[in-house]
Amino acid sequence: MKLFIDSGNTRLKWCLDDRGGPLACGTGSLADENPLAGAGDRLRDVKSVAVSTVASEQRRALLSELLARVCAASVDFYWSERARNGLVNAYQDVGKMGADRWHAMYGAWLAHKLGYVVVDAGSAITVDYVDRSGQHLGGYILPGLQMMLRSLRTDAARIDFEAQSESTIYPGKSTGECVNHGLSWLLSAMIQRLNADARRLALSDVLVTGGDAARLMDLGLPGMLCPDLVLKGLRAIHAEEACE
C-alpha cells in the first residue's frame, strides 16, 4: 500500500493507494496532533510515502516527524521538474515553482493534450497555461479568498464584516456586502481575463482545483472540477519513477 500527500502550510490531502487504485482519501489540518488520523490502522501497511508540498521547512520537518511516528515506510518528497513526458516547464529555475503547481499541471497533461488551463484556488490562486505541444506558457499567482479576507480584517481600520460565499457583483449597500460583493467582482474580472487568454492561446480545457474551486465556478468560470489534480499528478510521477 502507498500513501500520497498534498500538503500546504495549514492543511493536507491524503490518499491511500492499493494495487494502483485509490483505497481511501481524506483531509487534515497540520495543527492537529495527527492530520492523517482518518487513515486509521491502515497506515501500518503503507510501504512507501510520496509527498508534494509547498509548506515551509519547519512545517515540512513536522510532517516528516509525524510520518515517522505513524508508519515505518520510506518518505520521498517530489518537487517541480524541468520536463516530464512531453510537458515542459517555463521556469528557468524550476526550484522556484511550487511543487503543487507542477504536479497539478502534470496530472492535467495526462488526459488533456489539446491545451489547457489549470486554476488552483487555495490559499493563493494560481493559474497556469499549457499549450497542445506540452509547453508551459507561464501563469499568474494571486491572493486567495481567505488571504484577502484576512488582509481586510487585520490591515484595514474599522472594517467589520461576516465572510459569505457570495456570487453577487452588484455594488454593496453595507460593509459586509461591499466586502463580499467586492471579492466576487474581483474574481469575476479575473475569470473574464482568463477566458480571453484561453481563447487567444487556443487552450481547450480549464481544470479547476483547490478549496475555493466551487466559488470560482459559481462566478462563471467554465471548467471541470478536479479536486484531486495534484494527487493525480503525484501518483503518476511516483509510478513512473518506480519503473525506471
pLDDT of residue 157: 64
Confidence of residue 168 (pLDDT cuts 50, 70, 90): confident
For residue 134, with 0-12 CB atoms within 10 Å meaning exposed, 13-18 middle and 19 or more buried, which class applies? Answer: middle
Give catalytic residue positions.
100
| Domains located in the chain, CATH noted | 2-78 (3.30.420.40), 113-232 (3.30.420.40)
Secondary-structure breakdown of the chain: helix, strand, coil percentages, each rounded to the nearest 5: 40, 25, 35
pLDDT digits (tens, 9 = 90+) for 82-117: 999 999 999 999 999 999 999 999 999 999 999 999
> Is a pLDDT exceeding 70 seen at residue 47?
yes
Residues of the chain with pLDDT > 90: what percent? 71
Q: What are phi and psi of 127, to 5 degrees?
A: -130, 125
